[in-house]
A and B are shown apart, each in its own frame.
Chain A
């Protein structure tokens, strides 16, 4: 895989790669996709499934409840005034 593509994919995945990593990954991903090319010749199949078993119509009743204390959930988080801190937007 060429370096530009690796860089583009990395940007989308929010990874910044070092020069060395770029080199390693463009070689490795090229190898791996080369191996995956055998999928092109795999016979096609009509079947469709998101999961390997049929998971269908598992629904929950619309009953509100809270199981865990929100405070306990926020315990390990960086918070301010009960808000969760995050980075700058613009």
Chain B
């Protein structure tokens, strides 16, 4: 089975792709519109430079080649939401081509191309008769990412999309607004002919649509039938794909280059733009560079890229194992409180751990100092708080000695202690603190 995706993601510009209309939510239909995005005769597009920048960042993130020049094209199709009855997109010379993106750092998924295009308006259907069109979305900038059919299962496609979207968000600082800004055209073939399911919104629906399509095509082929190349749509409520029309021959689009925008020399810009390392690539690099396991690296990065960076600073100042121990323990435990304070400079943590490594402070004192620094309190109150916590855990262990025996067989036994303490303290201590203290005290009694 082969699956290829065409992923549409909105670029986070403040104004539209070809006109200055705002991209924010509009108060009413057709209020964020102008002659350009309404396709009024005589109006013409003006390129938003920021959209090109975002597009290049994504092209680089996907390992695509960005050539010297790029330009736009008209894709002609008639539809009520398509203000000019052509869409300005890219054809002969997309922003980026020929990339490779690694799923879980292992499986290469080839990226055919990435290009920029404008979104059409939105249609509200009225009864069975006319359509009502809102052009507020007309001209919203999108990046379209096209993959080769390198994905093998619907679940893998979903996993790929999840990773891709996290990386895109990180690269262009896209706010996390659920799945609203992600739309997909999904191509799937079980045998030799493929079908395209257009316009599926959200990860879960992509997997559902692909799974339905996989089963449908498999059944069809088993029964001796033939898959017809066609476009289908996904009915979210019923979870089925429905044929909408025979795959349009490309001839119908009749692409021509867009003369109103000219060309864009993007090579220099592409070379000057540095992309932030994607969370995914960071995980892979951490495991390779510091020899930590995948799970730990994932935990650091998904908690915060800044936490992972602190781990690297620590490793540089001490060693990878020391850095891993403290980052997994006290630092992770206090991280949420640290972020909540709105502080960004955590370099003091490195000094504290250095003191421990140099033998100036004890293990326990190091933990307390880290905790105090992250929480922004003094060491005595932290010390008192954690003494209270230790005392409560110890009391429970005294009263329930079986926990230790059970723990020898299965470390899940610690959960009994943790659950009890949490209930008793009611949020006074972070769960990470309770977990680490419990484990420490149990291990002392083994």
Contacts and interface: CB of A to CB of B under 8 A. Distances in A.
Q: Do chains A and B touch in the complex (CB under 8 A)?
A: yes
Contact of A82 (B15, B28, B38): B28
Interface in A60-89: 60-68, 70, 73-74, 79-89
A6 to B, nearest CB: 15
Given A59-B49, A82-B29, A64 B130 contact: no
Contacts, number: 125
B47 A83 contact: no
B125 A58 contact: no
B299 interface: no
Contacts of B98: none
Contact of A67 (B34, B69, B130): B34
Given A62-B15, A63-B15, A88 B49 contact: no
B264 A57 contact: yes
Contacts of A87: 80, 130-131
Given A62-B15, A74-B30, A87-B80, A51 B259 contact: yes
B32 A66 contact: yes
A82 B30 CA distance: 6
Contacts of A16: none
A55 interface: yes
Contacts of A18: none
B124 to A, nearest CB: 6
A50 B48 contact: no
A83 B134 CA distance: 6
B38 A73 contact: yes
Interface string B33-59: 111001010000011111110000000
B262 A84 contact: no
Q: Which of B40, B49, B129, B251 has the most CB of A within 10 A?
A: B49
A89 B24 CA distance: 28
Interface residues of B, number: 52
A87 B71 CA distance: 33
A35 B133 CA distance: 43
A54 to B, nearest CB: 8
Contacts of A59: 47-49, 52, 264
B128 interface: yes
A68 B34 contact: yes
B215 interface: no
Contacts of A55: 261-263
A70 B40 CA distance: 12
9 contacts: A12-B254, A14-B78, A50-B258, A56-B69, A58-B47, A59-B47, A61-B49, A65-B22, A85-B132
Interface of A: 12, 14, 50-51, 54-68, 70, 73-74, 79-89
Given A63-B15, A73-B33, A83-B29, 16 more contacts: A14-B78, A50-B263, A51-B262, A58-B46, A58-B47, A60-B49, A62-B49, A63-B20, A65-B20, A66-B20, A74-B30, A82-B29, A82-B31, A83-B30, A84-B134, A86-B80
